Amino acid sequence: MHEGELITNPKDPRKFENIDKERIKPTNRVFTEDEIKKMGKNIPQYVMDRYMEDFMDGKGLPTIKNLNKRVSNNELIYVESYTKTDGTKVSGYYRRK
C-alpha cells in the first residue's frame, strides 16, 4: 500500500517507505479473556490497562464472541494465522485499526 493505493505491479516506481510506522505496536493488540487468563500473574501492564479501558468504556469482557462482534462493527480487525518468511508461525489475533 502507498497512500491508500495498493501497489500490485512489481515495476511500479512508487515505494512504500514507512514500514516501521505501519508495524503493529503491542498496545494495538487486543487479547482475549482466555489469553489474559493464561498469562497468570505475568500480565504486562499495557495489557491490563487496555483491558480496563475497554471494560470501563462499556465494550465488555474480551471474549471471542464479544471481539467478533466488534470486528463485525468495524471496531477491531482480526488478523488470520500466518507464517513469517523465517518460518515462525503466528497465531491469529485481534487488533485495533
Of 23, 28, 22, the C-alpha closest to 94 is 28
Looking at residue 85, what DSSP letter applies?
Answer: T
Residue 97's pLDDT band, with cuts at 50, 70 and 90, is: confident
Side-chain-facing half-sphere of 70: CA atoms under 13 Å: 21
Q: Residue 76: phi, psi to the nearest 5?
A: -130, 170
Q: For the segment 7-48, what is each residue's pLDDT rounded down to a tens digit?
A: 666 677 766 555 444 455 667 888 888 888 888 888 889 888
Query: Given this model, what pLDDT does residue 59 score?
Result: 85
Give the position of cell 467478533.
Answer: 68
Give the position of cell 466488534.
Answer: 70
User: What is the pTM assigned to this prediction?
Assistant: 0.63
Which helix (H) or strand (E) segment holds residue 95: the answer is: strand 93-96
